[in-house]
Amino acid sequence: MTTVPDDDAGLMGRVKAGDPAGAEALFSRYAGPMLGFTERMLGNRAEAEEITQDVFLKMISRCEQYDGRASVSTWLFAIAANACRDRLRSAWRTTSVPIEAVPEPRGEGSIEGGLLEKEKRRAVRAALDRLTREQREALLLARYRGMPYAEVARTLGISEGAVKTRVFRAVETLRALFAEEGVSRWTAARP
């Protein structure tokens, strides 16, 4: 029996061969980051969980559509981005999507420090909600997911220049919003 590598492409090969272990490994690797991305896009944990599950079901049912031109993670995040866009476009959702709280990491520190950190995150989430959908998804993928601009471009189906423009405009909008709030320095740190 030949062994298949445990890199993403090898795991995708296992999915195509019908091996559930390949799908389980990819789910373990990407479910957390994808849930974070979809929750920030939709502003709703339950919907984000549903979209995340759907992405992995689509990965299995449409595995033959994966042609290897993009990385597996790019392909999966493209499916997620499209699903989020579809959800946001649906008639029963409002056009304003609040970004709800993401569970806070548990750590050491003072109560005051924890409250201050929580308030900073709330402010960043509220500011992200004021960006256009296009700016928000580009910023989340590039800055918070850490994807290179070329990979973000493939994920969103736009040019690399368009990604750079969207991220730049998003950062400038956020800086302006925080300047209005009296925050002197803002960086695109993780919300």
pLDDT, tens only, 56-67: 999 999 999 999
Average pLDDT rounded to a whole number, residues 102-123: 63
Please name the fold of domain 8-89: Rna Polymerase Sigma Factor; Chain: A (1.10.1740)
Average pLDDT rounded to a whole number, residues 124-135: 86
DSSP-derived letter for residue 80 is H
How many helices (DSSP H) and strands (DSSP E) are in the chain? 8, 0
Confidence of residue 185 (pLDDT cuts 50, 70, 90): low
Confidence of residue 34 (pLDDT cuts 50, 70, 90): very high
Please name the fold of domain 111-180: Arc Repressor Mutant, subunit A (1.10.10)
Q: 143: which residues sit within 8 A by CB, 6+ positions away? A: 167, 188
Helices (H), 20-156: 20-42, 45-61, 72-89, 111-129, 133-139, 149-156
pLDDT for position 123: 78
pLDDT for position 112: 66
Give the domain ranges of the chain. 8-89, 111-180
Q: 45: which residues sit within 8 A by CB, 6+ positions away? A: 39, 100
Q: Give the mean pLDDT of the chain.
A: 82
pLDDT surpassing 90 at residue 104: no
pLDDT surpassing 70 at residue 95: no
